[in-house]
A = this chain, B = another copy of it.
């Protein structure tokens, strides 16, 4: 009897399910067709990179970027575009340089300041170098060996890993904690080998944990890390001179937000975003201009294809992912204060290369539910949907139980560009970027259509 009921129920529901599946397939095809033939977002990325490079929070270019993207979202025909204001510490780097002094000769080093490095006197600070391979080595050497010196962290990011993010994450503790650990033992400065698996002349900057009376902290290019290390072998008493002119400020700035109103549940928001800021030394094309424009594409695609989102789609271009993560925290606080229902949040901040997978940070049952959509995306190169984090900007929404997702593209080239002057618009391929835009729009479409209810 039970199975008869089953059959009757199935015969009733299956055609609907089949129709819904066919409709989804057809909508997803439209998303890809449109994304791969529309250069609007790609051209806007070019403009952003050209008009507002080095758009670190608080810099003049960060405000140009806010204005440029607000107008762009208005032009796309979003239902609402607004700036969500917040106040935050910021750090402005005016200049940074370094030389190594060997036998009285000054030799240029390709370096950049880490944010928020301390400044030096105009003539810089000069000191002997102590080369180490880890934070623990500094702790073992202790104050006696470290005091008055510049600590040089030189452990490479492993170039033989297939997963370049793994190589980065295993090396980056030297950049993030290195300066403060060095300072703890009396160092007068800190140099970190750039956190990239590539051998290059570009210094790769990034954030470090430095507070109070800050020492100068720099990243040196991997090629010059090798050069400095080799020179130290022959000249153990060589000195390095570091000159940094930077300042700490408080700034009033904004997240840029645009909504496309939902037809059934307009008060529920599906957030999609990237971060609008970039480091001071780069156009920030892949990190994270691409993520911003892929997010605006989700809105444009839904609107232009009239996909009738049930919930509101909210694009957020977060200010300050790089330095203090103020934008993400500020939006979470704003959501709490205004009791905003963030139904789901997706972030793109891992490069705009050929699509690979999505990560989902949610309960097991929601992860499993979203994994059921995988077959829709596999024909377009999304090979997997796996449990994992969402992203730095949307991370603070986790404590409110918002399911998060991170878009991930092929990672082989990412650390050739990450946080350095090599991250330019010409490194972004139109098709690769737009396959990501369409993948993001497709997953959001599926989640909005089929719901996440457990």
Residue of B with least CB distance to A413? B429
For the complex formed, measure the closest distance between the CB of A159 and the CB atoms of chain B, giving whole angstroms: 5
Near B by CB (< 8 A), chain A positions 336-381 give 354, 379-381
Given contacts A37-B159, A160-B36, A162-B32, contact A412 B432 (CB under 8 A): yes
Given contacts A354-B354, A354-B410, A379-B162, contact A416 B429 (CB under 8 A): yes
For the complex formed, measure the closest distance between the CB of A200 and the CB atoms of chain B, giving whole angstroms: 10
Near B by CB (< 8 A), chain A positions 1-57 give 32-33, 36-37, 39
- Chain A interfacial residues counted at CB < 8 A: 26
Check if A431 is an interface residue, CB within 8 A of chain B: yes
Q: In the complex, what residues of B have CB within 8 A of residue A432's CB?
A: 412-413
Check if A145 is an interface residue, CB within 8 A of chain B: no
A160–B205 Cα distance when bound, in Å, is 37
**Which of B36, B162, B380, B429 touches A435 (beta carbons < 8 Å)?**
B162
Given contacts A162-B435, A431-B412, contact A383 B383 (CB under 8 A): yes
A36 to B159, Cβ gap below 8 A? yes
Q: In the complex, what residues of B have CB within 8 A of residue A380's CB?
A: 162
**Which of B33, B198, B383, B429 touches A412 (beta carbons < 8 Å)?**
B429
Near B by CB (< 8 A), chain A positions 114-166 give 159-160, 162, 164
Copies per complex of this chain: 2
For the complex formed, measure the closest distance between the CB of A339 and the CB atoms of chain B, giving whole angstroms: 41
Q: In the complex, what residues of B have CB within 8 A of residue A37's CB?
A: 159-160
For the complex formed, measure the closest distance between the CB of A173 and the CB atoms of chain B, giving whole angstroms: 22
A138–B429 Cα distance when bound, in Å, is 36
**Which of B32, B39, B160, B413 touches A33 (beta carbons < 8 Å)?**
B160
A381–B164 Cα distance when bound, in Å, is 12
Q: In the complex, what residues of B have CB within 8 A of residue A36's CB?
A: 159-160
A381–B163 Cα distance when bound, in Å, is 9
Near B by CB (< 8 A), chain A positions 196-224 give 197-199
Residue of B with least CB distance to A29? B160
Q: In the complex, what residues of B have CB within 8 A of residue A435's CB?
A: 162, 412
For the complex formed, measure the closest distance between the CB of A38 and the CB atoms of chain B, giving whole angstroms: 10
Q: Interface readout for A174-197 with B: 1 if CB under 8 Å, 0 if not? A: 000000000000000000000001
For the complex formed, measure the closest distance between the CB of A381 and the CB atoms of chain B, giving whole angstroms: 6
Given contacts A162-B380, A354-B354, A383-B383, contact A431 B410 (CB under 8 A): no
Residue of B with least CB distance to A32? B160
A380–B163 Cα distance when bound, in Å, is 9
A381–B32 Cα distance when bound, in Å, is 24
Residue of B with least CB distance to A431? B412
Residue of B with least CB distance to A381? B162
A194–B150 Cα distance when bound, in Å, is 57
Closest 7 CB pairs of A and B: A33-B160, A36-B160, A412-B431, A354-B412, A162-B380, A354-B410, A412-B432
Given contacts A36-B160, A37-B160, A162-B435, 19 further A-B contacts (CB under 8 A): A32-B160, A32-B162, A33-B160, A37-B159, A39-B199, A159-B431, A162-B380, A162-B381, A164-B431, A198-B430, A198-B431, A354-B410, A354-B412, A383-B383, A410-B410, A412-B431, A412-B432, A413-B432, A416-B429
